[in-house]
Amino acid sequence: MTGYLTFEIRRTLRDAKFLLFAVALPVGLYLLMADRFIDQGAPASYVMGGVAAFGAMKAALDVGARTAVERGIGWQRQLRLTPLSGSGYLLAKASVAMVVALPPVAGVSLVAALVSGVHLSPGGWAVAVLGVWAGTVPFALLGLLIGQFATAQNLQAYQGAVVLLLSFVGGLFIPVSTFPQALATVAKVLPSYWLAQVGHATALGGDSWQAALVLALYALVLGAAVVVRYRRDTARA
């Protein structure tokens, strides 16, 4: 397991383009959005929380979903012929997703502090950075689940739809309080809504325990689903 994890982390760190994009996209988005939102009276830390959550979520989803390619070419079959267990493989992949999810949060937070002058207490930064990062776990697992269903060909379509749905309807960019009633109800079913709660807690105050609990439940359910799916996937890829 540790052997496989090391291997995967080394592979990921070598993929500079992917890592750079994972950070550059949310940082760019933050810079684009911050001025407009702040003009409308939103605190910079609010925008920071939402965009950081988006960046972490997308990075975690991407890493997981890219396993569709490995599955398609038969790499997972090859691994089934080793002592590496299915859950060991998935755990390694989820860990890599979490490694990749941290830089976007850190990047957005850093830019928010430097450019918009966001000031937080050490405890505030801990929630803003580590809280959002930890809340990304269910998305790493959701990405893996997508990877077990999608093919290399339809992956982009799946992935794009999921990211759009989660980020816009989940309220990562636009406050759910401005949604029509029906859409707001839908939003609350999405895990991204609860990740947004963690991200926005810095700006809005209040604690994130309820959001943490919901995200933990999501992680359990998605984790179980992806393990079951991987075990059943004995068909030839």
Asked whether the beta carbons of 59 and 18 are under 8 A apart, the reply is no
Residues at the site binding another protein, with contacts judged by CB under 8 A: 3-4, 7, 10-11, 14-15, 70, 73-75, 77-78, 80-84, 234, 236-237
Q: Which is nearer to another protein, 10 or 177 (CB)?
A: 10
Query: Look-up: residue for tokens 């992935």?
Result: 159
Closer residue to another protein in complex, CB, 28/95: 95
DSSP H or E run through 41: none
Q: How far apart are CB 194 and another protein at their closest, in Å? A: 35
Closest contact distance (angstroms) between CB of 9 and another protein is 12
DSSP 8-class letter at 165: I
CB nearer another protein, residue 15 or residue 207:
15
Cα–Cα distances in angstroms (integers) from residue 81 to residues 39, 78, 84, 174, 236, in the given order: 58, 5, 8, 47, 14
Three-state DSSP state, 43? coil
Helix (H) or strand (E) holding 175: none
Instruction: Please give the Cα distance from 111 to 34 (Å, whole number).
Output: 11
CB of 106 to another protein, least distance (A): 25
- How far, in Å, CA of 11 to CA of 223, rounded? 23
CB of 65 to another protein, least distance (A): 16
Q: Do 38 and 64 meet the contact criterion of CB atoms below 8 Å apart?
A: no
Query: Least Å distance between CB 12 and another protein?
Result: 10
Output the smallest distance, CB 204 to another protein, in A.
Answer: 42
Q: Does residue 83 come out as left (phi exceeding 0), alpha (psi in the -120 to 50 range) or beta?
A: alpha
Residue with smaller CB distance to another protein, 13 or 189: 13
Helix, strand or coil for residue 167? helix
In the complex with another protein, which residue's Cβ is closer, 73 or 130? 73
Quick one: 4 or 37, whose CB is closer to another protein?
Answer: 4
- Distance separating alpha carbons of residues 34 and 44, to the nearest angstrom: 6
